Amino acid sequence: MQGFQFPPTGFGVGSQPDDSEKVEWMPMPSGMATYEPRLPEIDDVEAAAIPPALEVLGRAAEACARIATEGGVEVVTLDHLAPAARVIVAQTMGEGEVSAKIEGAPPLRAQESVFAGVWVVSEGGAERLEIGRAPAAFFARAFDPIEHAAGPFAPTSNAVVNAPGIVTELFDAASRRKAGDAAHVVNLTLLPHTPEDLDHIAAALGKGAAEILSRGYGNCRVSATALHNVWFVRFYNSMDTLILDSIEVTDLPEVVCAAAEDLEDSAERLREVMDAIR
């Protein structure tokens, strides 16, 4: 018999669960970090440390307002502060959503403060504030190779199915990217692939120096590859289950960056905290 087609499966009577059956959904992220003002604990002994600490906070507030409109990254040094003044600044800054480490010489650690766009950066035994959408090292050192990229023509095995096409797309997008271009995103979660595909992609792209964690809503782990402007971006729910696995071709994924509006808010909030300290 020619042209006979079986009816599609998954539709009609019996295809859906009974009312008595419990439908289980994957847990989604829960709990979102929100801004809470932080006032340092200041006693009479530390009164002399207040003016220099306020001077640093004031410079940070001015930089936030300026960078919100002009862009860029500004540095506010902390080396000149006495220990008591640094405690005031540290207590005011607190810890925000995003933290990062960059391997290499010297290793670098960055922690966003509770004021979005104000980062506490530790490098080579020194500590400073950097104000901007992200610390400068995120752009300058992120793609320094820890494991070199094997390239688009890396050898494959029979178990590698879709990886060569994905790798070719990523190398092409990276080579054509210009400053200001929108991110080119490859959503691995929606693409069929084997475990060997993922291994092949990782080897082809290599490993960069930057590892970034954003804890805004669930967890997002961002890893630089050794291919310039290419990042692994993976979202996890509150059970630490991977719910979105993607690769972005961009200077820095938006989930990591402080927006202009964030910097404007941080300038206002820093001034409010300074008024309270006075």
In tens, the pLDDT along 99-149 reads 999 999 899 999 999 999 999 999 988 999 999 999 999 999 999 999 999
Q: Which domains does the chain have, with CATH numbers?
A: 44-134+258-277 (3.30.1370.140), 163-249 (3.30.1370.140)
Question: How many Å apart are CA 93 and CA 120, to the nearest integer?
Answer: 8
CB-neighbour burial class of residue 150 (10 A; exposed 0-12, middle 13-18, buried 19+): middle
One-letter-per-residue 3-state SS of 125-141: CEEEEEECCCCCHHHHC
Contact criterion met (CB below 8 Å) for 237 and 175 = no
What integer pLDDT is reported at residue 1 of this predicted model? Answer: 46
pLDDT, tens digit (0-9, with 9 covering 90-100), for 155-208: 888 899 999 999 999 999 999 999 889 999 999 999 999 999 999 999 999 999
Percent of the chain with pLDDT over 90: 73
Of residues 221 and 157, which shows the higher confidence score?
A: 221
pLDDT at residue 4 greater than cutoff 50: no
Q: Report how far residue 248's alpha carbon sits from residue 205's, in angstroms, rounded to the nearest whole number.
A: 12
Nearest partner of 112 among 134, 127, 92, judged by Cα: 134
